[in-house]
Amino acid sequence: MSTKSRILIARAISPEVVEQLKQHFDVQSNQDDVVWTPEELAQQLQGKDGVLTTGSQRIDAQLLAACPQLKIVANMAVGYNNFDVPAMTAAGVQGTNAPDVLTETTADFGFALLMATARRITESEHYLRAGLWKDWHYDLFAGAEVHGSTLGILGMGRIGQAIARRAAYGFGMKVIYHNRSRLDTAMEAECKAAYVSKQELLQRADHLMLVLPFTPENRHTIGAAEIAQMKPTATLINIARGGIVDDAALAQALRDKRIAAAGLDVFEGEPAVHPDLLTVPNVVLTPHIASATKGTRTAMAALAADNLISFFAGKGALTPVNLLGGSGLH
């Protein structure tokens, strides 16, 4: 009988990472990429010591109670709002995430989404594909300036800082930010970013970029009241998490042209998207792909795998999101 720890991989991942895990564990993979219900996931987890998750599998008290053998859940995402962290800690289950490896790739995408939104790229492509382009006009899809404009960043962690550097050094933008805690002076200087209140951020930003983690307290951080404080020429970019923005209020604001446009990579209740967002032209919509390059998605899975390997080797998790009573195995 195998003495190796038993691992479940909850969704399809890079084949090389599956092979890496097989060198260390008894692995059940899901390369057919079946999306399990919570009940099916609990069934698949029977007898498993660890699981590699992608961020869409909910790990809560009910699932943990059904899977008493489970010791670690390794998320291949930097966000972990799919984890009920207190329930995991209470059950003695280690949680890990995958920070750093996706920072630059996600920042690239955030900037791409900002530019596509400001310059109306998606909207103009739809116009062209529909056969509506008949003539030149001086204001045909005239958008907003990016270079030299003011970028407001809400949430100034690693990704926010990477976006600030792109904006300041690459596009000569004035960068302002709001965060729970202010950066130190040296980091502010490196990012060329000035700390302001949330209210000032909303009022001054030509482009508002959301990069904050989801917590219950952050739900609908941007709603109708906040959008009302923004410039009517402003754009709103969300690469954070669904639920940070009140999507219904945003759709109404876009329809009423209370702000110029929005670019969204994340949605409340995704993969469902609020139907009103699908009917307004001045929004760029992408299916949560900010970290989606082949290299980065492989690196994210590899870090989750490395967390599993280190944990079961008795060395503890590399990037833990909770602290257990002991360290390593329990």
Percent of the chain beyond pLDDT 90?
94
SS3 98: coil
Core vs surface per residue 270-305: b (16+ CB within 10 A) or e: beebbebbeebebbbebebebbbbeebbbbbbbbbb
Cα torsion 182, 183, 186, 189 to 10°: value is -80
Mean pLDDT of 261-281: 96
231 and 208 Cβ atoms separated by less than 8 Å: no
Which pLDDT score, from 0 to 100, does residue 2 have?
56
Q: What are phi and psi of 248, to 5 degrees?
A: -65, -45
Catalytic positions are 241, 270, 288
DSSP label at residue 169: I
Mean pLDDT within 278-296: 97
Q: How many residues are recorded in the chain?
A: 330
pLDDT at 330 over 60: no
* Averaged confidence pLDDT in the chain: 95
Asked if residue 271 has a cis previous peptide bond (ω within 30° of 0), the answer is: yes
Is 168 within 8 Å of 109 (Cβ atoms)?
A: no
- Domains of the chain in start order, with CATH, are 6-99+294-312 (3.40.50.720), 103-285 (3.40.50.720)
Q: What is the mean pLDDT of residues 150-174?
A: 97
- Its pTM stands at 0.91
Q: Is the pLDDT of residue 38 over 80?
A: yes
Distance CA 236, CA 227 (A): 9
